[in-house]
Amino acid sequence: MDVNKYMLFVRAVETGNLSKAAAQLSYSQTAASHMISSMEEELGIKLLYRGRSGVSLTEEGERIYPLAKELTEKEEAIRIMAGEEKIHHGRIRIGVITSVAVKWMPQIIMEFRKQYPFVELYMNDAINYEIMKDWFSKDVIDCAITAESNGKENEIPLVEDPYYVIMSPDHPLRQYETITPQLLKGETFVVPSEGTSYLVGKILRQAKGKLMEHNGFLSDQAAIAMVSGGCGISILPKLVLDSYGTEGYIRRILDPKVHRVIYFCISSRKILHPTIRCFSAFAREWIGNHAENVIKS
């Protein structure tokens, strides 16, 4: 028994037109006509009258139709049940930048687990964007919440995250409500490994300031501590700053304003498990309800 034939038969009766039913189920008119004829031949009865105005049930078709409809509804229920089973059982490997890991992920993970307790979640915290790209290429992660579009994955923009200039409470620039690139000339900059972008780099080059020397990796938290201690100033995104509190430094908005975009990225290199698509929708909805400067899709 080919259930697809029964689905076409039921849809043809519901629409009153075989061509419409064929289009809805992505069959050509010729293929649909052949399927109905094949079904009638297998059963040994005529099911439909076909005319210029559409199709109608024969006497035999009227007796078969209720059972055919019940069959297709049960088949659809089985498909839904199988899909739900896949959603509720699976594994998701998530890559996130540090600020997202600190600020959003604890709540996202806990609320997701309440709805999907049998889904296994694995989170990878990246210190910079290049590592995230490498994880995708090596199939270490299935999806990511990151910044800086790489143009290779399926990316959905989520949030505009503005940059701020931060400084110690006694820094001379504290008197300004907004900071222009001209005011930054000659300053010493503390540049962490995460939180920089092309636009911020351009501002630093224009300012012709000095960089605080450090060997290798400097975390956002360490950079904020250096600024609070008077070692220099820094330019960091709001999400990073909100992740580590507001004590010990003051922040000022840039003029003109500069922001980075936070994206939800899904691997474009493989067929995705339904659980991953489910998490994508869940995380994007959570961020849309809780974050500031949300990008409306």
pLDDT one-digit tens code per residue, 58-70: 999 999 999 999 9
Kindly write down the DSSP assignment for every residue of 194-239, as one continuous string: SS--HHHHHHHHHHT-EEPP-SS---HHHHHHHHHTTS-BEEEEHH
Cα–Cα distance for residue pair 255/229, rounded to 1 Å: 25
Average pLDDT rounded to a whole number, residues 210-239: 84
Give 218's pLDDT tier (boundaries 50, 70, 90): confident
Residues 6+ apart with CB under 8 A from 54: 15, 16, 17, 18
Considering the entire predicted model, what is its pTM? 0.68
Least confident of 25-39, 173-187, 266-280: 266-280
Nearest to 167 by CA among 154, 158, 157, 176: 176
Helix segments in the chain, DSSP class H: 3-15, 18-24, 29-43, 59-88, 98-103, 105-115, 129-137, 198-207, 220-228, 238-243, 274-290
Question: How do residues 245-296 score in pLDDT, each as one tens digit?
Answer: 888 999 999 998 989 899 998 876 655 677 888 899 899 999 999 999 999 8
Cα–Cα distance for residue pair 125/128, rounded to 1 Å: 9
Least confident of 59-73, 98-112, 169-183, 204-218: 204-218
Q: Are 229 and 245 in contact (CB under 8 A)?
A: no
Mean pLDDT of the chain: 86
Q: Which residues pair with 234 in a beta bridge?
A: 166
Q: Are 7 and 75 in contact (CB under 8 A)?
A: yes
User: 137 or 176, which is more confident?
Assistant: 176
Give 201's pLDDT tier (boundaries 50, 70, 90): confident
Q: Which residue has 């949030």 as its token pair?
A: 159
How many of the other CB atoms lie within 10 Å of CB of 155?
A: 17
Give 55's pLDDT tier (boundaries 50, 70, 90): very high
Q: Are 105 and 97 in contact (CB under 8 A)?
A: no
Least confident of 72-76, 160-164, 244-248, 281-285: 72-76
Is pLDDT of 5 > 60?
yes
Is pLDDT of 155 > 90?
no
Cα–Cα distance for residue pair 116/136, rounded to 1 Å: 24
Give 220's pLDDT tier (boundaries 50, 70, 90): confident
Question: How do residues 78-119 score in pLDDT, each as one tens digit?
Answer: 766 666 566 677 789 999 998 999 999 999 999 999 998 988
Residues 6+ apart with CB under 8 A from 114: none
